[in-house]
Chains A and B, each alone.
Chain A
Amino acid sequence: SQTIHQWPATLVQPVGSPLSLECTVEGTSNPNLYWYRQAAGRGLQLLFYSVGIGQISSEVPQNLSASRPQDRQFILSSKKLLLSDSGFYLCAWSGGAASQYFGPGTRLLVL
């Protein structure tokens, strides 16, 4: 069966520091991959999605970037974190249909 992992689970970083969040999927090949952010009091906002290695689509302009170096690996990065980057980051995958399956999330606090 398919599983999706995210790490770290929790991260506290100073303003201006870099960021790297990792998401991996097991048990499927060529998944569509997604990064969402949930800020306090708001719903989930789509940040990036990828339909294949090296293919990244960005939904909103921001301080973050995404990369997909391998078929089942999706990375969310920043060169310099801002306070407003704090939030709960969720990775999700789909097999081509619209239904998406979510990882456990990473809680990021920027101080």
Chain B
Amino acid sequence: AQRVTQPEKLLSVFKGAPVELKCNYSYSGSPELFWYVQYSRQRLQLLLRHISRESIKGFTADLNKGETSFHLKKPFAQEEDSAMYYCALSGGGADGLTFGKGTHLIIQP
């Protein structure tokens, strides 16, 4: 069975400090991994996907198949990064996503 684990329910860092949101997964094949973000009073939106290998809003995430991880990183946190972050996995095709329970990121001024 596929599973996504986000070990931190809450992560609080100061503005300007580095941020790392952890995500580990369990899947027997080659998954696609995603990070979704939900800002206060906004809908859940796609932040980035591993196959794009891009940086969005300063965030990057690298898929580490050996460690089965897909941690989200940003070198310098900004106050507007405060939000709920969800890691998600897809086995491909039309199947739905398997989500982690989310990490609430709070950036303190």
Contacts and interface: CB of A to CB of B under 8 A. Distances in A.
Interface residues of A, number: 23
A51 B93 CA distance: 10
A36 B98 CA distance: 10
Given A99-B34, A99-B46, A105-B43, A59 B96 contact: yes
Nearest to B44: A102
Q: How large is the interface on B (under 10, 10 to 19, 20 to 34, 35 or more residues)?
A: 20 to 34
Contacts of A53: none
Interface of B: 4, 32, 34, 36, 43-46, 49, 86, 88, 90, 92-102
Nearest 10 CB-CB pairings of A with B? A46-B96, A98-B90, A43-B101, A44-B99, A102-B44, A43-B99, A32-B94, A98-B32, A51-B94, A104-B43
